[in-house]
Amino acid sequence: MDKMPGKLVIKQLEIGKLAIYCYIVVDRESREGLIIDPGGSPRKILQAANEEWVKIKFIVNTHSHVDHICGNAGVVKETGAKLVIHELEKKSLTRVHKGLLNILLGGRPSPQPDILVKDGDSIEIGNSTLEVIHTPGHSRGGICLYGENNLFTGDTLFVGGIGRTDLPGGSIEVLLDSIKNRLLVLPDETIMWPGHNYGNSPSSTIIREKIYNPFLTV
């Protein structure tokens, strides 16, 4: 398990066929944790969690695109964790065509979500709390998770890039508004953990993206 200062321990795993970053986030004291975007390779994810005796309490999808959810079924089955997604993504999570695409990516159709969240909600693991930030633009119900100086951005913001906006529910204007008015207002030292390995480093900071991200500096 990666050792991080503070209350949280964070493990970043590159999984699946599309350079997805899945995260295991653990409250250091209680060992309760959650998994963000199990986009395939459930055995790899579960092994990483089991190595540190983590009790997985939640599976959180930042949005319902198939590359981020195709490991939901396998991880939920093995952990019994509650599946969490934004309320605007509920219907699209389990649509028939999504199930077929999940299978093509080596997973299984996602189960129904157990918990629907909205902007400002909190997800608690042990003594740690992650805040839900609604960041539409890549998808209607896209979210980021923020807590303990860490920001998990899904496909909203990448290292040196931003999410695509040419899929249903996407909008470049809405996405940039979400990034600039919901994410870049966070403390400059906030560590940013993206949803794909697309950049020149596995993580970044808010101040670095403000200065160097070409999509945000024009």
What are the pLDDT digits (tens) for 115-164? 999 999 999 999 999 999 999 999 999 999 999 999 999 999 999 999 99
Provide mean pLDDT across the span 43-49.
Answer: 95
Instruction: Say yes or no to pLDDT of 53 above 90.
Output: no
Number of C-beta neighbours around residue 202 at 10 A: 12
Specify the pLDDT at position 16.
80
Query: Whole-number mean pLDDT of the chain?
Result: 93
Specify the pLDDT at position 101.
66
Specify the pLDDT at position 1.
45
- For residues 112 and 93, what is the distance between their CA atoms, to the nearest angstrom? 7
Structure tokens at 211: 């200065």
**CATH class of the domain comprising 8-212:** alpha beta
pTM score, whole prediction:
0.94
The predicted-structure confidence for 154-212, as pLDDT tens digits, reads as follows: 999 999 999 999 998 999 999 999 999 999 999 999 999 999 999 999 999 999 999 99
Provide mean pLDDT across the span 17-38.
Answer: 95
Phi and psi of 90, rounded to 5°?
A: -55, -50
